[in-house]
Amino acid sequence: MIPLGSSPRNQWLVSATEVDLRRAPLAERPLTIAAAPQRVTLDLARTAIIIVDMQNDFCHPQGWLGHIGVDVTPARTPIPHLAKLLPHLRAQNVPVLWLNWGNRPDRLNLPPKLLHVYKPSGTGTGLGDPLPGSGAHVLEDGSWSAAVVDELAPEPGDIHVAKFRMSGFWDTELDSILRNLGVTTLLFAGVNVDQCVLGTLLDASCLGYDCILLEDCSATTSPSYCFDATIYNVKQCFGFVAQSSAFLDGMAG
């Protein structure tokens, strides 16, 4: 019998005369962590982390936000926490997914409504436009602008998904990838926590995934009350909130 499937977690066994639809069982790897509103036990074998928009245009001083006068210092606060956490998650075979904004060069995946958000008067530097100085096109897939910041350089085994909406589930392959990986629990990190992180987490919750927001691995350049409201609403309605240290302590134990 020959394995047939893109992921070892979701494969048939086939031959010329037979097909076995049974998936190989995953050995449970339970982990109990401190979280809010309650302590949580999850299965690392069915967990993935989604890191949203930790890209040069959002987090580098010479990126797009820096160019238009936004202080990106808050957006950089997740970097040391993620740099410490990700090697431990990879060592536990937890899939690492980079969910990054990535426009097509021709911007045909962007409706006028999205272009208007970032270029309301039709002037200035908006999505896909070249940055003065570097010439890098804003959040264009494959460009320096859309790349993950150097401090969080992805590993070869990581998974990349380009998005072009606030939610990473709209018009992308994210849900298909997660289902092929057999994932039921999602850890969320990145920026902006009140916009793309929350938008993706809300859709994940509506799709039936268990959602845990990593508070110290998330940030926003919005006013602080936006961060506070996001934390409140996730705990109240959409999942759980935890610190990366809870995972590090649990995996170390």
Q: Is 206 a catalytic residue?
A: no
Q: Does the annotation count 163 as an active-site position?
A: yes
The structure tokens listed for 172 are: 């992308």
Amino acid at 123: T
pLDDT at 82: 98
Total domains in the fold of the chain: 1
Looking at residues 118-123, what average pLDDT do you find? Answer: 89
Structural domain of residue 166, as residue ranges? 26-252
Indicate which residue of 59, 129, 196, 210 is catalytic.
196
228 domain residue, yes or no = yes
The answer to whether residue 18 is domain-embedded is no
pLDDT at 253: 76
Radius of gyration of the chain (CA): 19
In this prediction, residues 99-122 reach a mean pLDDT of 93
Say what percent of the chain tops pLDDT 90.
95
**Per-residue pLDDT, 226:** 98
Look at residue 130 and tell me if it is in a domain: yes
Judge whether 122 lies within some domain. Answer: yes
- The pLDDT of residue 134 is above 90: no
pLDDT in tens, 202-248: 999 999 999 999 999 999 999 999 999 999 999 999 999 999 999 99
Res. 192: pLDDT tops 80: yes
Crossing angle, helix 244-252 and helix 78-91, to 10 degrees?
A: 30
Question: Looking at the domain assignment, is residue 114 inside a domain?
Answer: yes
What is the per-residue pLDDT for 57? Answer: 97
Evaluate whether residue 107 is within a structural domain: yes
pTM of the model: 0.95
Cis-peptide into 103, omega within 30 deg? no
- Identify whether 16 is part of a domain: no
Predicted pLDDT at 177: 98
9 inside domain: no
Please give the mean pLDDT across all residues of the chain: 96
Distance CA 171, CA 168 (A): 8
Marked catalytic residue, from 59, 163, 194, 203: 163
53 is catalytic: yes
Residues 53, 129, 194, 203: which is the catalytic one? Answer: 53
Instruction: Give the pLDDT band (50/70/90) at residue 117.
Output: confident
What does the pLDDT look like over 15-37, one tens digit per residue?
999 999 999 899 999 999 999 99
Residues 149-178 have a mean pLDDT of 97
Residue 238: give its domain's CATH number: 3.40.50.850
* pLDDT tens digits along 63-77: 999 999 999 999 999
